[in-house]
């Protein structure tokens, strides 16, 4: 059976060398005001393995196959990489042993204002955040995503792939059929697909494109020599048996265990570990100032980390730090009875946010009404924390809170479009 420790050191440094040299050249060109030819390959701000693998792979593809200098940018501070142990492990398996030095982070560009580049390839999301627009007008030259399509950049993006799938890395992998794919990069993409599809579990999140991509990647990865058919040869394993491969099962379990181990993280780290941000213009309100909402996914039930006022204290601080008007905290965990998947959602509206003349109580009421009416989320009043985890009236009068249990199948990919519909619905 596959033993993970045998693969913790990868001698192939091709991917690591590409990342390190790209970062060095890009930063030098930025300092020399020569960055116009570079494209930023960028995933979403949640910084999960799918978004990292997709941004790295697309940068490799655009640079190597099309001779267009492209660098992956992680939408996080350098130290935030430590919040996801599975990312560090997958990068190590891919030969990227010093990711904080070899990858480009927002931290590396903090000194440059406005943002130094204007060409973007968006992966694992399909709307460019406004913070990347204050300088030269941005151009989105490519989009590869598996979330709800916001129908943007239709005239500028090539390719433009926005199709549901278990993992964005599967769409990225489909672009490599005639392009060099080093083993380390194949391993990184494969790891992302396994994490996002529960190891290709049948009748789970994986669809045909995920299974096809995993087959393709597995036999180009650093695990290729360990894959064999029943008779012991190195013949290709078909998709129906890849899930049952000892190598794939072991790698999937290893990545899943690391992903789910968050016992060392406090409430603030849990809120920012798997976090996405959105902006909305509300057609029903007099002001045209954008409303900013954040969605944090936390793999632990509220009672284990957010009780006794921690939700209010840490939520208020995070909202203030990020300039949020709305924060949704989406928990996912296994119940004590039969291990069934369960989900909760806690919503906070911060009334002391700007603009000062905004009717935040109306915003809160629209949010509660919309959530409670949605037929997919199927929210129900939380039995323990319906109005928060403490009586916060005196301590947090600026907060409006509702907490629900919900449909265990409705992930953030489902919740985010619901939130958009609620907030952008006309009068």
Q: Are residues 253 and 276 in the same domain?
A: no
The answer on 279 and 235 residing in a single domain is: no
Q: 244 and 272: one domain? A: no
pLDDT at 12: 66
Which strand (E) or helix (H) includes residue 414?
A: helix 412-424
Comparing CA positions, the residue from 103, 116, 132, 134 lying closest to residue 30 is: 116
**CB–CB of 2/250 below 8 Å?**
yes
For 186, the token pair is 């194949």
40 with 137, same domain? yes
Considering the domain architecture, whether residues 47 and 135 belong to the same structural domain is answered as yes
If asked whether residues 229 and 333 sit together in one domain, one would say: no
Shared-domain flag, residues 222 and 273: no
What DSSP designation does 351 have? Answer: T
* Pair (33, 103) in one structural domain: yes
DSSP string spanning 233-270? Answer: S-PPPPHHHHTT-HHHHHHHHHHHHHHH--TT--HHHH
Domain final residue pick, 241, 258, 275: 258
> How many domains would you assign to the chain?
2
Residue 373: is it exposed, middle or buried by C-beta count within 10 angstroms (0-12/13-18/19+)? exposed
Residue with tokens 């087959």: 215
**Helix, strand, coil distribution of the chain in percent, nearest 5:** 40, 15, 45
Q: Is there a contact between 3 and 82 (Cβ–Cβ < 8 Å)? A: no
**Per-residue model confidence (pLDDT) at position 10:** 41
Residues of the chain with pLDDT under 70: 1-12, 134, 228-240, 337-338, 392-394
Round to whole Å and give the CA distance between 148 and 212. 22
Could you tell me which of 228, 272, 276 has the C-alpha nearest to residue 248?
A: 228
Q: What is the mean pLDDT of the chain?
A: 90
CA–CA gap between residue 274 and residue 171 (Å, rounded):
22
The verdict on 125 and 253 lying in the same domain is yes
How many residues are recorded in the chain? 427
CATH of residue 213: 3.90.1640.10
Q: Give, as one character, the DSSP assignment of residue 290.
A: P
Do both 214 and 156 map to the same domain? yes
CATH value at residue 399: 3.10.310.20
User: Are 177 and 310 in a shared domain?
Assistant: no
Say yes or no: 197 and 56 in one domain: yes
Tokens in use for 102? 């070899």
How far is residue 135 from each of residues 62, 110, 113, 281, 388, measured CA to CA in Å? 24, 14, 8, 22, 41
Q: In the prediction, which pLDDT does 355 show?
A: 76
pTM equals: 0.88
User: Which among 234, 258, 282 is the end of a domain?
Assistant: 258
Around Cβ 266, how many Cβ atoms within 10 Å?
11
How big is the CA angle at 145 (ends 142 and 148), to the nearest 5 degrees?
120
For 282, the token pair is: 């509300």
Neighbouring-strand partners of residue 295: 276, 328
Q: What pLDDT is recorded for position 352?
A: 81
Q: Which of 197, 256, 221, 254 is nearest to 4 (CA)?
A: 254
What DSSP line would sit under 178-216, residue for residue?
TS---HHHHHHHHHHHHHHTTTT-TTSS--HHHHHHHHH
Q: Name the strands in the sheet holding 380-381, side by side, starting at the edge strand that comes first in the sequence.
A: 275-280, 291-298, 326-334, 341-350, 399-406, 380-381
For residue 128, give the 3-state DSSP assignment. coil
| Tokens encoding 83 | 């919040």
Residue for token pair 């009672």: 303
The pLDDT value recorded for residue 242 is 85
DSSP 8-state symbol, 407: -
The reported pLDDT for the residue numbered 235 is 43
Give residue 406's domain range. 267-424
Q: Distance between CA 298 and CA 342 in Å, rounded?
A: 12
Q: Please identify, among 228, 258, 288, the residue that sits at the C-terminal boundary of a domain.
A: 258
């Amino acid at each position: 059976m596959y033993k993970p420790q045998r693969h913790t050191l990868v001698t192939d440094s091709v991917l690591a060398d590409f990342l390190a040299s790209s970062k060095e050249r890009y930063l030098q060109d930025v300092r020399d005001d020569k960055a116009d030819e570079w494209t930023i390959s960028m995933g979403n701000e949640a910084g999960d393995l799918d978004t990292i693998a997709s941004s790295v792979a697309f940068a490799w593809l655009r640079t190597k196959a099309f001779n267009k200098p492209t660098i992956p940018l992680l939408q996080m501070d350098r130290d935030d990489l430590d919040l996801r142990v599975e990312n560090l492990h997958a990068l190590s398996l891919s030969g990227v042993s010093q990711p904080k030095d070899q990858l480009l982070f927002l931290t590396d560009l903090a000194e440059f204002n406005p943002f130094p580049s204007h060409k973007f390839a968006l992966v694992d999301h399909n709307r460019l955040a406004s913070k990347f627009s204050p300088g030269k007008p941005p151009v989105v030259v490519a989009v590869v995503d598996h979330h709800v399509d916001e129908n943007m950049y239709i005239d500028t993006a090539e390719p433009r792939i926005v199709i549901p799938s278990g993992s964005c890395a599967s769409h990225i992998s489909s672009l490599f059929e005639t392009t060099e794919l080093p083993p380390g990069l194949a391993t990184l993409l494969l790891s992302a697909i396994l994490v996002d599809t529960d190891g290709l579990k049948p009748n789970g999140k994986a669809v045909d494109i995920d299974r096809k991509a995993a087959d393709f990647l597995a036999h180009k990865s650093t695990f290729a020599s360990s894959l064999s058919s029943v008779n012991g040869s190195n013949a290709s394993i078909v998709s129906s048996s890849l899930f049952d491969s000892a190598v794939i099962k072991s790698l999937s379990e290893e990545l899943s265990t690391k992903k789910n181990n968050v016992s060392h993280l406090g409430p603030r780290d849990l809120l920012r570990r798997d976090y996405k941000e959105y902006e909305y213009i509300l057609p029903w309100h007099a002001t045209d100032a954008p409303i900013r909402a954040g969605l944090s996914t936390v793999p632990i039930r509220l009672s284990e980390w957010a009780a006794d006022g921690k939700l209010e204290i840490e939520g208020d601080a995070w909202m203030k730090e990020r300039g949020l008007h709305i924060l949704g905290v989406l928990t996912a965990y296994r119940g004590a009875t039969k291990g069934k998947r369960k989900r909760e959602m806690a919503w906070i509206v911060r009334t002391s946010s700007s603009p000062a003349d905004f009717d935040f109580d109306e915003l809160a009421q629209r949010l509660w009404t919309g959530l409670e009416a949605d037929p997919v989320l199927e929210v129900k009043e939380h039995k323990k924390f319906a109005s928060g985890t403490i009586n916060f009236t005196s301590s947090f009068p600026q907060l409006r809170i509702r907490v629900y249990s919900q449909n265990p199948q409705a992930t953030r990919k489902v919740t985010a479009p619901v939130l958009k519909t609620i907030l952008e619905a006309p009068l």
